[in-house]
A = this chain, B = another copy of it.
Amino acid sequence: MTEPTYVVGHQQPDTDTICSALAYARLKQEQGTAAVAARAGDVNPETEFVLDRWDVDAPELLEDAAGEQLILVDHNEYSQTVTGARDAEVVEIVDHHRIGDVETSSPILFRNEPVGSTATILTQLFDDADETITTQTAGLLLSGLLSDTVVLRSPTTTERDRTVAARLAEIADVDYESYGKELLMHKSKIGEKSPREMVLSDFKEFQFDSRKVGIGQIETVEPSVVLDQRDAVLEAMEEIATERDYAVFLLLVTDLLEEDSTALVAGPEIATVEDGLDTMFSDREAFLPGVMSRKKQVVPPLEDAFY
Chain A interface (Cβ < 8 Å from any Cβ of B)? 90, 93, 96-114, 156, 295-296, 299-300, 303-304
Closest chain B residue, CB of each to CB of A303: B105
Report the separation of the CA atoms of residues A296 and B156 in the bound assembly, to the nearest whole angstrom.
36
Most buried by B among A98, A106, A111: A106
Excluding A107-B113, A110-B111, 15 further A-B contacts by CB distance (< 8 Å) are A90-B99, A93-B99, A96-B107, A98-B103, A98-B104, A98-B105, A98-B107, A105-B299, A106-B300, A107-B112, A107-B295, A109-B113, A109-B114, A111-B111, A111-B113
Question: Would you give the shortest CB distance from A58 to chain B, in whole angstroms?
Answer: 27
Report the separation of the CA atoms of residues A180 and B114 in the bound assembly, to the nearest whole angstrom.
37
What residues of B have a CB within 8 angstroms of the CB of A93 in the complex? Answer: 99
Question: Would you give the shortest CB distance from A179 to chain B, in whole angstroms?
Answer: 25
Report the separation of the CA atoms of residues A206 and B129 in the bound assembly, to the nearest whole angstrom.
34
Establish whether residues A108 and B112, one from each chain, have CB atoms under 8 Å apart when the complex forms.
yes
What residues of B have a CB within 8 angstroms of the CB of A156 in the complex? Answer: 107
The residue from B108, B299, B303, B304 contacting A114, defined by CB atoms under 8 A apart:
B108
What residues of B have a CB within 8 angstroms of the CB of A107 in the complex? Answer: 96-98, 112-114, 156, 295-296
Closest chain B residue, CB of each to CB of A99: B104
Given A110-B99, A110-B110, the answer on whether A105 and B304 have CB atoms closer than 8 Å is yes
What residues of B have a CB within 8 angstroms of the CB of A299 in the complex? Answer: 105-106
What residues of B have a CB within 8 angstroms of the CB of A105 in the complex? Answer: 98, 299-300, 303-304
Closest chain B residue, CB of each to CB of A302: B105
Question: Would you give the shortest CB distance from A69 to chain B, in whole angstroms?
Answer: 14
